[in-house]
Amino acid sequence: MDLPSSPCLQQTLFAPLSEVVPRCGAFRQCPSLPDGDWLKLGVARALHDLPSGRAFLQQIGLFVPGCPQRSHFFETLKSPRRLALCEQASDAISRQLTDNPFAQLECLHDFDLYAADGHWHAAAAHDEPIDGAKRAIGHFFALNLRTQALTHLTHAQGKKEHDMHALKRLELQTLRHHAPKGRKVLYAYDCAGIDFAQWHKWKHTGGVYFLSLTKENMKLEVIGQNSIDLNDPNNVGIEADELVATSQHVSVRRIRYTHPATGEPFEFITNELTLPPGLIAFLYLRRWDLEKVFDTLKNKLGADHAWASSTTAKHMQAQLLCLAHNLIGLFERKLAQEHKIANHAETQRRTKRLAQQQQQAQTRGQILPLLIQTHQRLTQTSVKLFRWLRAHFFSPLPLVDLLPSLARSYSCL
């Protein structure tokens, strides 16, 4: 009896996508360019750092049977139905990422945790100038701090839409990521996400909370002091936990914190009043994970400009970038769990960096908060993996035959 052959790289990478696409509400049978093939083509476009869609089609046309013509490919980027398909598939894939480093923190059991921010792409090559200049396109993304799943919230409208103005356009369930009733949703956002009156509204109508940094010109009046549990190893560096009144007549919480290793001071502001102050500080500092993702999109995937001119195409590009990010996350977990392939050199470097931070804290007569010591994980995909993927993307060889070269690459910095 013939044994089933081992899957190749593409079959392994796209296996989760192949499962979810037929179940999407926007799925249709398209003989000329099937929906599943089109989504895989879009993800491949996101993973290959080529300067244009023409260059992408020209390069992969030799390897993809039935590769669409340039005009057909760009027409599909204008399709509202395919955009809906892309959104549905991206959402389904994001839910397959299930890592949860905060599972042991009982106080977070009722919270979904996100970092969110805006990210800008330069104008597409054929965008029409407005008032003599081409306009960049802004996108607003959210990163699940538990699973590292990336989702697209919305795109900016007009010349330079402010973050909070864009967030206010969202339906509450979109902002909640369709979390079930009773779940709380906490966002770590930079200062552009501050609107105390809106925070109050979202908190009381939808269980959505925000965490940010104070601004220099804020007028805050201290109206109460919260006690700090000095025996909690996560509260190291916390200097004050205050209830303050804002100029918008809304009470929020201000936490003063000095990083034990660097001595850098922070003032956090939030409308979440129950979580320990050290945990609040840690969650905001984890917002840096999203900045690392943006760095990956721009510098490792070459996603620094829009692919096409239509609003639908620009929205679709953001969804395909999320889909690529999340598929790579699933792929990395499969490599680690089933093939024991992981970036051990980078893990060792992170361990050394943690030891350096601990030494810095000791020099200052401090220790690192327990959360920083125990919640260490790689939050950025190595450029080595992307290079390896591109080199072998169209290889017909079984994946297992390609893994030794990745292991060798991972073995050294």
How does pLDDT run along the chain (413 residues), one tens digit per residue? 333 468 999 999 999 999 999 999 999 999 889 999 999 999 999 999 898 999 999 988 788 877 888 899 999 999 999 999 999 999 999 999 999 999 999 999 999 999 999 999 999 988 989 888 899 999 999 999 999 999 999 999 988 899 999 999 999 999 999 999 999 999 999 999 999 999 999 999 999 999 999 999 899 999 999 999 999 999 999 999 999 999 989 999 999 999 999 999 999 999 999 999 999 999 999 999 999 999 999 999 999 999 999 999 999 999 999 999 999 999 999 999 999 999 988 889 999 999 999 999 999 999 999 999 999 888 889 999 999 999 999 999 999 999 999 999 998 76
* Beta-bridge partner residues of 137: 121
Total domain count, the chain: 1
Closest CA to 113 of 168, 182, 177: 177
Q: Using a cut of 0.85, tell me whether the model's pTM lies above it.
A: yes
Residue 227: which domain range?
A: 110-290
Q: Do residues 256 and 248 touch, judged by C-beta distance below 8 A? A: no
Residue 19 domain-assigned (yes or no): no
Q: How many helices (H) and strands (E) does the chain have?
A: 15, 9
Residue 39 domain-assigned (yes or no): no
Q: What is the largest CA-CA distance in the chain?
A: 78
Cβ-based neighbour number of residue 4 at 10 Å: 5
Residue 205 domain-assigned (yes or no): yes
Residue 91 domain-assigned (yes or no): no
pLDDT at 169: 96
Closest CA to 20 of 5, 8, 4, 36: 36
Q: Coil, strand or helix: which one is 301?
A: coil
Residues 297, 299, 303, 305: is their CA dihedral positive or negative? positive
Residue 28 domain-assigned (yes or no): no
Reading phi first (left if > 0) and then psi (alpha if -120 to 50, else beta), residue 95 is in alpha
Q: How far is CA 410 from CA 22, 154, 347, in A?
A: 36, 36, 10
Residue 206 domain-assigned (yes or no): yes
Q: How far apart are the first and last CA of the chain?
A: 44
Query: Which residue matches tokens 């549905």?
Result: 88
pLDDT at 5: 64
Residues 200, 204, 205, 208: is their CA dihedral positive or negative? positive
Residue 118 domain-assigned (yes or no): yes
Residue 167 domain-assigned (yes or no): yes
